A and B are shown apart, each in its own frame.
Chain A
């Protein structure tokens, strides 16, 4: 059974703080790693799809890194804002999974003004 773990499960920070969280996934048979942001009362939206070891992606104040050899990805948020409050999900796609993304349990971020 493939396991995708995210830590921490929840996080409370002050506005302006920078934060990061982790996604751990199997280091073998890697195809892609997805990050999604899920705000309350909205649908999850894609942040990044990462496929190459060492990949770094950035979208505004949010960036992500990928290490496929050791099986982890970090998501960083610089200068957190209240609108960053959401649940952040990562999902692993293995080369043999033919489309079945395996999701982590998510990290819920609360940014206090």
Chain B
């Protein structure tokens, strides 16, 4: 079974802090994604990566950056956390073809105070 592990289930940070959300997958998937989920808005794509050191902006990249130094790990970075980044963050990975479903982590509930 594919396992996608997010480093923290709950996180509380202060405004202005630099925040790292880590995601690791164990199935050698090329493609990894970071989404945030807010009530009534569904999952919105922040960034994605097709390969090591490769990244592309999703629909809402402002205020975020990412890092993919190794194939199995995809990190989401909040350079200076703000209260509007309080959200549920989900990481996902897939061996890409359009016929393959995403495998998700359990999510990180981030609260910025």
Contact = CB atoms under 8 A, between A and B. Distances in A.
B100 interface: yes
A9 interface: yes
Nearest to A5: B42
A103 interface: yes
A46 B95 CA distance: 14
B34 interface: no
Say which size band chain A's interface belongs to: 20 to 34
Given A32-B98, A100-B58, A43 B40 contact: no
A47 to B, nearest CB: 8
B45 A100 contact: yes
A9 B40 contact: yes
Say which size band chain B's interface belongs to: 20 to 34
Contact of B40 (A42, A44, A105): A105
A47 B109 CA distance: 24
Interface string A35-55: 010000111111001010000
A31 B4 CA distance: 25
A105 B99 contact: no
A103 B96 CA distance: 17
Interface of A: 4, 6, 9, 31-32, 34, 36, 41-46, 49, 51, 89, 91, 93, 99-101, 103-106
Interface string B11-54: 00000000000000000000100010000111111001010000
A47 B99 CA distance: 12
B100 A89 contact: no
Contacts of B58: 100
A17 to B, nearest CB: 24
6 closest Cβ pairs, A-B complex: A46-B101, A105-B42, A103-B43, A43-B104, A32-B98, A103-B42
13 contacts: A6-B42, A34-B101, A36-B101, A36-B102, A36-B104, A42-B106, A43-B106, A44-B90, A46-B101, A49-B99, A51-B99, A93-B98, A99-B48
A49 B50 contact: no
